[in-house]
Amino acid sequence: MELTDEFKRIGIRLRQEGLIGAVFGNLSVRGDDGFFITRAGSYLDDPGSLVIVPFSGPMPPEASSEFRLHREVYRKTPHHAIVHAHPPHAVAISLVRDEIIPRDSEGEMFCPSIRVVEGRPGSDEMAANVADALSLSGAVIVRGHGTFAGAKTLDEAYSLTSSVEHSCRVLFLLHSWEDRRL
Amino acid sequence: MELTDEFKRIGIRLRQEGLIGAVFGNLSVRGDDGFFITRAGSYLDDPGSLVIVPFSGPMPPEASSEFRLHREVYRKTPHHAIVHAHPPHAVAISLVRDEIIPRDSEGEMFCPSIRVVEGRPGSDEMAANVADALSLSGAVIVRGHGTFAGAKTLDEAYSLTSSVEHSCRVLFLLHSWEDRRL
Amino acid sequence: MELTDEFKRIGIRLRQEGLIGAVFGNLSVRGDDGFFITRAGSYLDDPGSLVIVPFSGPMPPEASSEFRLHREVYRKTPHHAIVHAHPPHAVAISLVRDEIIPRDSEGEMFCPSIRVVEGRPGSDEMAANVADALSLSGAVIVRGHGTFAGAKTLDEAYSLTSSVEHSCRVLFLLHSWEDRRL
Amino acid sequence: MELTDEFKRIGIRLRQEGLIGAVFGNLSVRGDDGFFITRAGSYLDDPGSLVIVPFSGPMPPEASSEFRLHREVYRKTPHHAIVHAHPPHAVAISLVRDEIIPRDSEGEMFCPSIRVVEGRPGSDEMAANVADALSLSGAVIVRGHGTFAGAKTLDEAYSLTSSVEHSCRVLFLLHSWEDRRL
């Protein structure tokens, strides 16, 4: 099935760039009556069969534990694809900032302001906060947890994720350099 | 043989994530009368044939030099698989802390407290300390040496290892950021 | 076509070394009446078909958005190949320095002084500044944006890019170490 | 030819671990009347045909520019294989220390003291200094340049290189952490 290959292709790129580790992170794509999402506990670079989750009603038990969040994003925003990753610099900076302002030119162009929102992984609160943020922007960070990016395609949502981590890494490098000169 | 492929698959992931370098680290899985372990000096991503070590009695000389530790863990704990790696941030933080408290949400969920124990690599002391720690928790760090994770499967033990290193890396980033603001 | 394989081979290396992420960066090679460049939004490690851009006259719409810069470099300099990447340490250091003086021996040999120039991505200003810099040197950094390297071949331009990032990374490590001793 | 495959296998590992970038670094193995070395400007993970260099007499022009150093090591020491790499933490620390004392347990076991020596790349001075150091130890760092490791096999010399970089990386992490507590 072609969609599975798409998921796997993006999962491999996320892995190669160090944006996810082990079984962490998940991916989804909007369908007609629901959305396709990676299985709970699957490796994104080797996701196996996908799970179809309806926009309302009971959940298939094998879907990723973040299904609530993905559903809420598809209900509240026009995004067609979602990438959730655990990039280390984005996770770390979210613990010390409420909003991230990139200083590299890609960040300024694609995500000039990245919001940090609260919420326990898997909770309705996190789902609502992320869906709100993604109705205004392509990317958001859940404090201490990871990035969520929404876009027209998985490729675009992955590129946003890569750009957010690049911006956060540059901010850490700048912070370490500039502080020394004081 | 299927088990060898399992070991190799996990070894490749450990290497891709930078959790091991060169011939460092080792893997084992519990069997009926003993356990299967990687050979001394083998590359975990290309382990070749495994060595069977009985739960008691003489050791095959080609087994990994950490066999004592693996045997002790299988004797004292219910774990079915062990992953030993040398992740740089976990090794470094173990030299300055006796207990590690993750601040990222995965760390809080899977390893809310990571103990640091003492012991010379290969020694009975290290074997006892690691087995004690792994009877209470899924992961432990031997000071200056590396991580040991125990779980039901190699996949789970590898995921714990990845999560511990992610938590330690986030702690280093936070430490460098926060200190500057003082 | 052989040239496409060349581009792909270099794109894979840039990616493996972490010098580019996602769809960022672009590559070109001089031809007889114009130059070959990667498509807008393509992955450099899987670039698909290349675009031919004439040295003057209208631009094919599918060419990389940085085409103005590549054209200007081919007009003003003798370089035969250009590599544009987004290496994190080079991008970060360009935000705090106007000129970078490597302290590692490869940097001293291949790029003893790396200039930092200004310019909005895609602008004529950036194109002019980069072309001026590459008429004097093999590599330049656009502030907050990324590296541009020009050389006889893609292999050489990639090696320069790798060397610049290595030098910048070493400078960050040195800066963090030395400052502590004060 | 089998030896070429050996070189390539080690080159791929060096590349995957980030111990070399682009065309930097070189490898050699002792033969009967001379030694086999990678070509000047070759990628170690795709080295192509090797060059045979006699222990005395004229040099084949296509040999790596570091041939003097390799020859001197084979003359003065019993090593059978040499790995030269450019690991970023080892290069950086060599600019601020004359001797490196690892604090991780692998470093303490395999390279309890790593000397830093002087010399311009390609010079007789560097060749003599490295050969002297490798007659006492398995690994040495040329200041600002890179590591040289000598051993019975390429696998062992690569493992030493990996261990040295791991130790230097841990030292940088420790230095950044500990200094903050003052």
Helix (H) / strand (E) element for B67: namely helix B67-76
Nearest to B86 among D166, D174, D178 (CB): D166
- Considering only CA atoms, which of D111, D61, D64 is closest in space to residue D90? D111
Q: Which residue has the tokens 């290497």?
A: B15
Query: What is the distance between the alpha carbons of residues A54 and A59, in angstroms, rounded to a whole number?
Result: 7
Residue C182 banded pLDDT, cuts 50, 70, 90: very low
- Considering only CA atoms, which of B86, B24, B104, B134 is closest in space to residue A24? B104
Percentage of chain D modeled with pLDDT above 70: 97
Q: Which residues of D touch B94 (CB under 8 A)?
A: none
Say if residues C115 and C141 touch (Cβ distance below 8 Å). yes
Name the minimum distance, in Å, from the CA of B165 to any CA of chain A: 10
Query: What is the distance between the alpha carbons of residues A46 and B12, in angstroms, rounded to a whole number?
Result: 13
pLDDT for the residue numbered C65: 84
Over range A110-122, report the average pLDDT: 95
Nearest to D173 among B24, B146, B172 (CB): B172
| pLDDT higher than 50, residue A126 | yes
Residue C41 Ramachandran class (φ > 0 left, ψ -120 to 50 alpha, else beta): left
Other CB atoms within 10 Å distance of the CB of residue C4? 14
Select the more confidently predicted residue: A140 or B58.
A140
Say if residues D40 and D60 touch (Cβ distance below 8 Å). no
Q: Indicate the pairing of strand D139-142 with strand D114-117.
A: parallel
Best residue in A19, A177, A178, A179 for a mutation probing chain C (most C CBs within 10 Å): A177
Task: Verify whether the Cβ–Cβ distance A24 to B162 is below 8 Å.
Answer: yes
Query: What is the distance between the alpha carbons of residues B27 and B32, in angstroms, rounded to a whole number?
Result: 17
Residues facing C85 on adjacent strands: C147
Pick the CATH number of D3-181 from 3.90.1150.10, 3.40.225.10, 3.30.1330.40, 3.40.190.170: 3.40.225.10
Residue B179 banded pLDDT, cuts 50, 70, 90: low
User: Hey, CA dihedral for D132, D138, D141, D145, is it positive or negative?
Assistant: positive
Query: What is the distance between the alpha carbons of residues A40 and A65, in angstroms, rounded to a whole number?
Result: 6
| pLDDT higher than 90, residue D180 | no
Over the stretch D108-143, which tens digit does the pLDDT of each residue have? 999 999 999 999 998 999 999 999 999 999 999 999
Over range C129-154, report the average pLDDT: 98
Say if residues D86 and D19 touch (Cβ distance below 8 Å). yes
Q: Which residues of A touch C165 (CB under 8 A)?
A: none
Over range A85-103, report the average pLDDT: 98
pLDDT for the residue numbered B117: 98
Over the stretch B39-70, which tens digit does the pLDDT of each residue have? 999 999 999 999 999 999 888 988 888 899 99
- Considering only CA atoms, which of A112, A92, A89 is closest in space to residue A102? A112
* 3-state secondary structure at position B36: strand
A12 touches chain C (CB under 8 A): no
Best residue in C91, C141, C172, C182 for a mutation probing chain A (most A CBs within 10 Å): C91
| pLDDT higher than 50, residue A182 | no
Over range A69-75, report the average pLDDT: 97
Over the stretch B76-125, which tens digit does the pLDDT of each residue have? 999 999 999 999 999 999 999 999 999 999 999 999 999 999 999 989 99
Say if residues C113 and C170 touch (Cβ distance below 8 Å). no
Q: Cα separations (Å) of C76 from C80, C141, C152? A: 12, 18, 15
pLDDT for the residue numbered B50: 95
D44 touches chain C (CB under 8 A): no
Name the minimum distance, in Å, from the CA of C30 to any CA of chain D: 22
Over the stretch D12-22, which tens digit does the pLDDT of each residue have? 999 999 999 99
Residue C106 banded pLDDT, cuts 50, 70, 90: very high
Name the minimum distance, in Å, from the CA of A48 to any CA of chain C: 23
On the CB side of A80, how many CA atoms lie within 13 Å of its CA?
7
Residues facing C51 on adjacent strands: C37
| pLDDT higher than 70, residue D106 | yes
Q: Which residue has the tokens 């009368």?
A: B33
Q: Which chains lie within 8 Å of chain D at 3 or more CB pairs, if any?
A: B, C
B23 touches chain D (CB under 8 A): yes
Best residue in D163, D166, D175 for a mutation probing chain B (most B CBs within 10 Å): D166
Percentage of chain B modeled with pLDDT above 70: 97
- Considering only CA atoms, which of C108, C110, C116 is closest in space to residue C140? C116
pLDDT for the residue numbered B64: 83
The average confidence (pLDDT) of chain C is 95
